[in-house]
Structure 1
Amino acid sequence: MFLPKVNVKDDPVRRWHRPDRQFFANGACQVLAFAFLDRYAGFGFHARWIKPAAGFTGNHIFVTDGHNAFDYHGLTTEAQLLSLCFRRARRFHPGWKATLVDLPADALISERRSRPFEGLWLREPKQFLHDALPRAQAFLDRFDNLRDRLITASASCTSRGAE
């Protein structure tokens, strides 16, 4: 969860011109999740939504394979990502609670397909000042060894080639 010092979500120009991590942390996490799922389709990841309990804010979408997770921070474990997210949210909103909801990839880039999920209304990549999907793909390029890290992270001790 990233809490901006000022509300920039209502200003498309200011929103677009934030640094990438802030952009994908607060308002475009679904586009980054979609770009990841598209690029690493064969790695068993899916999108997961951190849905705040009634009366709280702090939505976030990341991808996970049940152990590894990826969002604007980069690759980590799902347990570490959730621990950080909940700890930060509770620092600003005591008693903050949330549930985890798995989402289909097509809902991440479709306002219409996101609406059936109660409390979810996602902005499509082209609903930003500029198309956010190429920006998400370029952000993923910064993690050029991610494919190797995913293979290593998901290999078990009984897998061929695992050390």
Structure 2
Amino acid sequence: MYVLKHGIKKNAERRWALPDRVFFGHGACVILAGTFLKHPPLGGFYGERIIPGEGFSGNHIYVTNGVIAFDYHGYSSCSLLLEHHAKAWSSRHPGWLCAITRVDFDLLDNAELNRRKMLGPDQYLHDPISRAERFLRRRSHAEAAAKALAIAMR
């Protein structure tokens, strides 16, 4: 987990200047997931959301087929992604807990995202969907997913 310096997420220029993995790991995960689902490089994936318990941070959205997951880290087993996320947040915030829910809203719709206290694609300094598309094009999806599946099946 990346820890940002105070104020970066509130500053559009500084936020946009973050490296892709950090950008998509700190709030723009929803844009990455929504872009993945809009033109899926692999079939059978859907969005899931990590919703932290009352008073905690740590919201995250990723895509999964139920066995493997994709987010700003790339492909991994779903259980390892969730374990990593929980470990990172609970190490900084004792008592951290969360719920996992299937996404039932449009991940690229400003109003839907704002209703859930997330930024929509039109609320970034530049075009985050184009940035997510470039991020996704740099991946060998079939190969990376196969490796993650092999690890998940051990």
Shorter-chain TM-score category? 0.7 to 0.9
The runs of 5 or more residues in structure 1 that have no matched partner are 156-163
Distance 1:94 1:149 in 2: 33
1:113 is matched with which residue?
A: 112
Once the two structures are TM-superposed, the CA of residue 30 in structure 1 deviates from its matched residue by 0.3
1:103 is matched with which residue?
A: 103
Amino-acid identity (%): 38
- C-alpha change, 1:95 and 1:18, in structure 2 (3 Å) is same
Higher-Rg structure is 1
The runs of 5 or more residues in structure 2 that have no matched partner are none
Distance 1:126 1:5 in 2: 24
TM-score by length of 2: 0.88
- C-alpha change, 1:27 and 1:64, in structure 2 (3 Å) is same
Once the two structures are TM-superposed, the CA of residue 113 in structure 1 deviates from its matched residue by 2.0
2:141 matches 1:146: yes
Once the two structures are TM-superposed, the CA of residue 57 in structure 1 deviates from its matched residue by 0.7
2:21 is matched with which residue?
A: 21
Match of 2:127 among 114, 131, 144: 131
Distance 1:132 1:80 in 2: 27
**SS of 1:43's equivalent?**
coil
TM-score by length of 1: 0.83
Question: How many residues are treated as equivalent by the alignment?
Answer: 150
**Which residue identity lines up with residue 14 of structure 2 in the other structure?**
R
Deviation digits for residues 127-161 of structure 1 (CA, Å, limit 9, x no counterpart): 10001000001011121x20354478779xxxxxx
Instruction: Identify which of structures 1 and 2 has the higher relative contact order when contacts are C-alpha pairs closer than 8 Å and 6+ apart.
Output: 2
